Amino acid sequence: MKIAVNTRLLIKDKLEGIGWFTFETFKRITRNHPEHEFVFIFDRPFSDEFIFSSNITPVVIHPQSRHPFLWYIWFEHSLSRFLKKSKPDLFISPDGFLSLSSKIPSFSVIHDINFVHQPKDLPFLARKYYNHYFPLYAEKAKRVATVSEFSKKDLCENYQLNPDKVDVVYNGVNKMYSPVNEEDKTITKNKYTNGNEYFVFIGALHPRKNVSRLMLAFDEFKKSYKSDIKLVIVGDFMFKNNTLKNIYSNLFYKNDIIFTGRLSPDELRYVIGSAFALTFVPYFEGFGIPIIEAMSCGTPVITSNVTSMPEVAGNAALLVNPFSVESIKNGMLKITKDNNLRNDLIKKGFVQQEKFSWDKTANKLWSSIEKCFE
């Protein structure tokens, strides 16, 4: 079989959630299935590190698709022309975008549809594009994969999909995420927080990640509980988040919040593994990879009691209401004051994270893809 794959989110040193999903799954799928030919389709010059095996042919088609107008041109014109010319047996899109003008059978991975529920979190043109085209992409796809039972239910209810068409393929966790020794914890704390304990958040600073309420909750926590504990926020700003900047500027304990920007995976492992607890409280997630990364490092988790996060966390996290600053603050207080609770969450976290691996993800994704050939 000749299988074309949308790999436009495989960008050297800039992998986000869907980029990592693409990287980890197709690294395994292409190597495990040398009997098939894979065509990786990029929208810019690519790194050789993404050409995982000899059965991959990379191609670049223009223009770079980083804006709604360019999305349309890339998928409906450039990609459509390429697929018509190359005639693959299947087109796979790990980021959910398809070419409606192409007649090639398609397989779509739609990680979540947060834009249906929180459209104002996206710029105007982006939310219009997503809400117009993604129902059409879901309808066009021969099969759809998604990353949690929550997302499957959400897709089926909002897009009127037959549940039999949608497969759940959980995300995995990189094996590099593992406990950090005490010496490295000390080095990491000295580097970021002058040796102090800290809560950590990981993720792009998108409105739905709820960093504004997290910072407000941390400020209230510091007012209630006198300690030197800090809050470390790891991630790049997405779009224009003036609300976040305004809230930060008015915090009493803003000097105890450290923004690191994007970190390499190697460095991220130390920052997560050295943290007192992960405070990951978005109000919408299709999965929430930082939850299992933290559990794999032996770091206790505070996360949200909505969407997919209780499903991913199981009984191994302290769940809070992400819409309530008071609830998030109380979670911080509870995990700080109750060492038995913290140790219990660490033990349960090690058990819970065993359920997730990129090997399992790749195998389940391939099983879903194979159904397109039946």
Amino acid at residue number 71: W
The 10s digit of each residue's pLDDT in 113-123 is: 999 999 988 89
| Helix count and strand count (H, E) for the chain | 15, 13
* Spatial separation of the C-alpha atoms in residues 355 and 195, rounded to whole Å: 33
In the chain, % helix, strand, coil (3-state, to 5) comes to 50, 15, 35
The 10s digit of each residue's pLDDT in 241-291 is: 678 888 999 999 999 999 999 898 899 999 999 999 999 999 999 999 999
CATH number of 2-172+358-373: 3.40.50.2000
> Quick one: pLDDT at residue 241?
67
Percent of the chain predicted with pLDDT > 90: 90
- In this structure, the number of other CB atoms found within 10 A of the CB of residue 279 comes to 30
pTM: 0.93
The 10s digit of each residue's pLDDT in 31-60 is: 999 999 999 999 999 999 999 999 999 999
> Quick one: pLDDT at residue 285?
96
The 10s digit of each residue's pLDDT in 309-320 is: 999 999 999 999
Average pLDDT score, the chain: 96
Percent of the chain predicted with pLDDT > 70: 99
Q: Where in the chain is the domain with CATH 3.40.50.2000?
A: 2-172+358-373, 182-353
Classify 213 as helix, strand or coil: helix
Q: Which CATH architecture has domain 182-353?
A: 3-Layer(aba) Sandwich (3.40)
* Spatial separation of the C-alpha atoms in residues 43 and 62, rounded to whole Å: 6
> Quick one: pLDDT at residue 240?
55
The 10s digit of each residue's pLDDT in 126-156 is: 999 999 999 999 999 999 999 999 999 999 9
